[in-house]
Amino acid sequence: MSRRPTRTEALDARARQELVAAARAVRKRAYAPYSNFHVGAAVLDGQGRIHVGCNVENASFGLTICAERNAMAAAVSAGARRLRAVAVVTATRPPGTPCGACRQVLAEFGDDDLPVLLASAAGPADETSLGALLPRAFRL
C-alpha cells in the first residue's frame, strides 16, 4: 500500500521558487509609509493558482492590512477554499513570520502541515509549517 505524499512533499522545487518569486515581486508594491516595513505574500491554492498580496498601512494603524490577509482575500475572491503553500517575504534576516492574526486566517484555509516559506529580499527561503507557527489553532 502506498502512502499519500504530505503537502510538503507534493510541493516541488519549481513551485516553491515561483511562490517566493511572486511574494518578492508584490512586496515592491507594499504601501508602508509609517513603518517602512514592506511585506509581500503569495499563497498557492488547491488548484495550483498563485494569489498575491502586500501590506497596506493606514494612518489609523489598526486599519492596516497585512500582506498575508491580502493574499488570502485575493485567493478567496478567485474562488479558492484550500491552500497548498504560503510564502512571506520581508527585508529582514532572519525573515519575518506572519503575525498572529494572519496565522489564524491561514488556519481557516490550511492544515497544520501547510508549508510556510519565509524569505528575505534575496537568498533561499526557510521552510516551516503552519502548525509550527500556530500550534493548536482555533478551528470550528
127: cell is 521552510
For the beta sheet containing 115-119, the strands, ordered from the edge strand earlier in sequence to the opposite edge, are 50-54, 40-45, 83-89, 115-119, 126-129
Taking the C-alpha atoms of residue 15 and residue 66, their distance in angstroms, rounded to an integer, is 23
Known catalytic residue: 68? yes
| Residue 14 contacts residue 2 (beta carbons within 8 Å) | no
User: Exactly one of 9, 18, 57, 68 is catalytic; which is it?
Assistant: 68
Q: Is the alpha carbon torsion for 62, 65, 67, 71 positive or negative? A: positive
Beta-bridged to residue 23, according to DSSP, are none
- Which are the catalytic amino acids? 68
